[in-house]
């Protein structure tokens, strides 16, 4: 019997309020801190700021149960806003679940974005060290694997160029190459490959199959059903924050097609060619 790598029990995530309302201004907050009664009596209905904690919020994930066996590649399907990224963030410890819990056996590394962690002013070489360290690679591992990472990303000629001159496809190639060499037990990959070209996507797919053969557990989010079909034995379909389907990939895909809000006629695999709007490098931490 296979070991279970991830055992998620009743995971739920609630964001306190809609993001734009979340940042109430200082005045309102101070007023609430110093004169709670005054404020409450001034607005008997109870405005947002006078309601007791916890505030009403929006559940982006609720009652999520699933298991991932060690060494499995699990596909996660779902429309935009269904909670896929939130789920990966929880598993990567970037945010905490509001309820429920997940048991994780093994080290988790996550690539949730093609550019997060990179610094635009630094060269490709420096950024390999930077992102690899952020993702948990030690310096000696990094030195050992540097050549392989650069070779895999096919960026030898431009590795000493500042990252700001890279195309978003090049950034993604570098980021994925680092993630694929992390030597971890559980790897979470969010939709990051969309900006890379077809050849690189194919190569990444083969790399993930190789990682799988070495026993890595991979959670893979993609809108590209072709990849999910090729890569994953099992898949879960998230819909409105819940696991709507969990099982073998072909059935999961059929189910996803049936609920997806895409027009039935639209070929989902066309999404690949549209690329994505992920910025290559985040707002550089300007100093």
Partner 1 sequence: MIGVLTRRRAFGLADFWEHRHLVYVFVWRDLRARYKQTLLGAMWAVLQPLLTMAVFTFVFRRLARIPSENVSYPVFVLCGLLPWQFFAQAVARSGNSLVSERYLLTRVFVPRVIVPVSAVLSGLPDLGVALGASFGIMLFYGVVPRLAVLMALPFLLLMIGLALAVGLFLSPLNARFRDVSYLVPFLIQLWFFITPVAYPTSLVPEKWRSFYFVNPIAPIVEGFRSALTGSGPIPPSRIIASAVSVSGSLLAGFLYFHWSEERFADVV
Q: What angle do CA 271, 193, 255 make, to 5 degrees?
A: 50
29 forms part of the interface with partner 1 (CB under 8 A): yes
Give the integer Cα–Cα distance in Å for 133 and 80: 30
144 forms part of the interface with partner 1 (CB under 8 A): no
Least separation in angstroms between CB 46 and partner 1: 20
Closer to partner 1 by Cβ: residue 120 or 253: 120
134 forms part of the interface with partner 1 (CB under 8 A): yes
Closer to partner 1 by Cβ: residue 66 or 255: 66
61 forms part of the interface with partner 1 (CB under 8 A): no
266 forms part of the interface with partner 1 (CB under 8 A): no
* Backbone angles phi and psi of 237, in degrees to 5: -110, 120
2 forms part of the interface with partner 1 (CB under 8 A): no
Q: DSSP secondary-structure letter at 159?
A: T
124 forms part of the interface with partner 1 (CB under 8 A): no
Q: Name residue 235's beta-bridge partners.
A: 75, 247
87 forms part of the interface with partner 1 (CB under 8 A): no
Give the integer Cα–Cα distance in Å for 89 and 190: 10
Size of site (CB under 8 A) for partner 1: 48
15 forms part of the interface with partner 1 (CB under 8 A): yes
Short-list 265, 96, 156, CA closest to 177: 156
Q: Which residue of 41, 95, 233, 266 would you call a contact of partner 1, by CB under 8 A?
A: 95
**Distances in whole angstroms, Cα of residue 32 to Cα of each of 24, 53, 88, 207:** 11, 12, 35, 54
Contacts for 77 with CB less than 8 Å, ≥ 6 apart:
222, 225, 228, 235, 236, 237, 238, 252, 253, 256
Strand segments (E) across 163-241: 186-189, 217-221, 234-239
Give the integer Cα–Cα distance in Å for 31 and 39: 7
Give the integer Cα–Cα distance in Å for 39 and 24: 15
Q: Which residue of 2, 18, 22, 247 would you call a contact of partner 1, by CB under 8 A?
A: 22
99 forms part of the interface with partner 1 (CB under 8 A): yes
Least separation in angstroms between CB 284 and partner 1: 8
Query: Rule CB under 8 A: which of 150-189 touch partner 1?
Result: 162
Q: Which residue of 43, 46, 58, 94 would you call a contact of partner 1, by CB under 8 A?
A: 94
Q: Which residue of 91, 182, 208, 236 would you call a contact of partner 1, by CB under 8 A?
A: 91
Binding footprint of partner 1 on the chain (CB under 8 A): 15-16, 22-23, 25-26, 29, 89-108, 110, 112-113, 116-117, 119, 121-122, 126, 130, 133-135, 138, 162, 282-287
């Amino acid at each position: 019997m296979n070991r279970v790598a991830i055992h998620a029990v009743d995971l739920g995530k609630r964001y306190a309020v809609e993001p734009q309302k979340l940042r109430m201004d200082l005045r309102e907050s101070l007023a609430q801190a110093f004169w709670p009664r005054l404020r409450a009596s001034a607005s008997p209905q109870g405005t947002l700021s006078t309601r007791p904690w916890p505030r009403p919020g929006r559940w982006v994930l609720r009652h999520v149960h699933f298991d991932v066996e060690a060494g499995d590649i699990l596909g996660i399907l779902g429309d935009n806003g269904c909670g896929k990224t939130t789920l990966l963030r929880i598993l990567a410890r970037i945010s905490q679940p509001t309820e429920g819990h997940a048991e994780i056996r093994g080290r988790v590394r996550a690539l949730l974005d093609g550019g997060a962690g990179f610094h635009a002013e630094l060269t490709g070489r420096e950024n390999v060290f930077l992102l690899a360290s952020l993702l948990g690679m030690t310096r000696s591992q990094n030195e050992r694997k540097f050549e392989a990472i650069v070779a895999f990303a096919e960026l030898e000629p431009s590795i000493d160029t500042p990252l700001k001159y890279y195309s978003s496809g090049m950034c993604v190639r570098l980021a994925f190459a680092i993630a694929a060499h992390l030597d971890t037990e559980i790897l979470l990959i969010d939709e990051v490959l969309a900006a890379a070209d077809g050849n690189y996507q194919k190569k990444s797919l083969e790399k993930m199959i190789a990682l799988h053969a070495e026993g890595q557990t991979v959670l893979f989010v993609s809108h590209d059903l072709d990849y999910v079909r090729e890569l994953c034995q099992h898949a879960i379909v998230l819909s409105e924050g819940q696991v709507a389907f969990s099982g073998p990939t072909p059935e999961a895909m059929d189910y996803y097609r049936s609920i997806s809000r895409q027009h039935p006629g639209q070929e989902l695999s066309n999404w690949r060619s549209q690329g994505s709007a992920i910025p290559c490098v985040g707002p550089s931490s300007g100093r």
